[in-house]
Structure 1
Amino acid sequence: MTTHSCIALIPLRGGSKSIPMKNIRPLGGQPLCAWVLRAAVACPLIDAVYVSTDCDAIRRTVQDLGLGVRLIDRPAELATDEASTESVMLHCMQQLPFERLVTIQATSPLLTAQHLQQALEQFDAEELDTMLSAVRTKRFFWYDDGTPINYDPLHRPRRQNFPGTLMENGAFYITQRAMLQSRRCRLGGKIGIFEMPEHTAVEIDEPQDWEAVSRLLRASHSA
């Protein structure tokens, strides 16, 4: 089997309590998962795209898209609410030879092929072991005990002078195979951050997120 320089993995399990069958529910005229699958397939630096799933309906939906996405059968024990994304990544590693793994979340449909290409170019340029995607927020954060997290109240900065804080947006992670093998974690070693636009902070986890993302997709396609 050919060892790919870079593959993409999209975990799509059938179970979802907050939004039933969320991963294939229509959003903007196509299944939710189609947005990130199209982005991954269109990225020239990704050699092959795989979906890991335990669900026949998801398999059929992915195949019907006609994108050439390949399927990995996910064992039932890796499709529970308690199963970690790392467990799915490690299962993929056992099945396939690759050097870098881009793990993409279907709940981030605002991800584009350009984001992925720029991230992989940065990954190589900075000689990273792992990378996460993030957005910059200029909000002030506090711990429950009243301790400030990211600023000094005695020297409260103006927004235009405040660098802000980077927050994971969960869109994707890039992991060198050797790092995944040794750490069994998506992040470790020399970690880099790919900064995405502020509007990509939205993830679809609850029903109220659905309409918010729908509006953003309509706005981006009408611009």
Structure 2
Amino acid sequence: MIKEGKLLALITARGGSKRLPKKNILKLANKPLIAWTIEASLKSPYIDEVIVSTDDVEIAEISRSYGADVPFIRPPELATENASSIDVLKHAVLTLKNLDRHFDYLILLQPTSPLRKATHINEAIQMYVDKKAKVVISVCEVSHPIEWTGLLPDDLSMDDFFSQELQGKRVQDLPQRYRLNGAIYIINIHEFLKHNSIMLKEGSYGFIMDREDSVDIDNHIDFKFAEFLIHNNRN
């Protein structure tokens, strides 16, 4: 719990991943992928309840075995590739409200970020409190300057690819930029329902994480990279 009210940790995990089948329960270093996020969230003293939203009975059973609560099964229409994450979050919050389980704040923890640790969660929540924020979202440094990116026409000409202002500039001369890493989203539930969004223009802050902790598993290569990092850290 944070001083102002109850904090819900919501882990969203659908069963129908196509790029990496059964992704959320694949064994990563001898634990189902989702278990890494459940265990990290259960270690946080700020979190009141850890709930998994899933359409998949097997994911639900595994989640319960690692200590999460699964009080409902997500309807099929909210478990497709095209389902809106906002609709998934609203369904969870409103379903819990109908079950007389009320929360003031929401921290969304996606299972595809297994290297996000309890320390990250705690520090992000502390930032939320200290900043009196409406939203805190985790970010990491971009691996390559976006100034070095551009569009290619059909003929692949690079005539307009490089701007004149970049000529002769070194990487260290360019501003450091950040991207969302998908690991942590914290928002006041009232603000979320009011704006129908977890990204607000005002009162939002970025919680910076290392790139190594920001692996977002979408395919087999991401999965193998996460395995490598876990093995490397253990040794």
TM-score normalised by the chain length of structure 1? 0.89
Aligned 1:28-107 pairs, distance under 5 A: 28-65=29-66, 67-96=67-96, 97-107=102-112
- Bigger strand share: 1
Count of matched residue pairs: 217
Give CA deviations for 1:137-159 in whole Å, capped at 9, x if unaligned: 3522123165679x941462453
Q: Please give the root-mean-square deviation of Cα atoms over the aligned residues, in Å.
A: 2.1
State whether residues 50 and 72 of structure 1, in contact with CA within 8 Å, keep that contact through their aligned partners in structure 2.
no
Question: What CA distance in whole angstroms lies between the structure 1 residues aligned with 2:57 and 2:176?
Answer: 44
How far is 1:37 from its partner?
A: 0.6
Residue identity opposite 2:36 in structure 1: W
Question: What CA distance in whole angstroms lies between the structure 2 residues aligned with 1:39 and 1:162?
Answer: 35
Question: What CA distance in whole angstroms lies between the structure 2 residues aligned with 1:34 and 1:74?
Answer: 19
TM-score normalised by the chain length of structure 2? 0.85
The structure with the largest alpha-carbon Rg is: 2
Structure 1: runs of 5 or more not aligned = none
Change (3 A) 1:17 1:125: same
Q: How many percent identity over aligned positions?
A: 29
How far is 1:75 from its partner?
A: 1.0
| Aligned twin of 1:126 | 131
| Aligned twin of 2:219 | 206
| Aligned twin of 1:219 | 232
* Aligned-partner SS, 1:80: coil
Question: What CA distance in whole angstroms lies between the structure 2 residues aligned with 1:177 and 1:83?
Answer: 20
Change (3 A) 1:152 1:35: farther
How far is 1:220 from its partner?
A: 2.1
Are 2:116 and 1:116 aligned? no
Residue from 169, 174, 190 that aligns with 1:156: 169
| Aligned twin of 1:197 | 210
Change (3 A) 1:167 1:144: same
Question: What CA distance in whole angstroms lies between the structure 1 residues aligned with 2:68 and 2:120?
Answer: 21
Structure 2: runs of 5 or more not aligned = 97-101, 153-159
Change (3 A) 1:37 1:68: closer
Q: Which runs of 4+ in 1 moved over 4 A?
A: 145-149
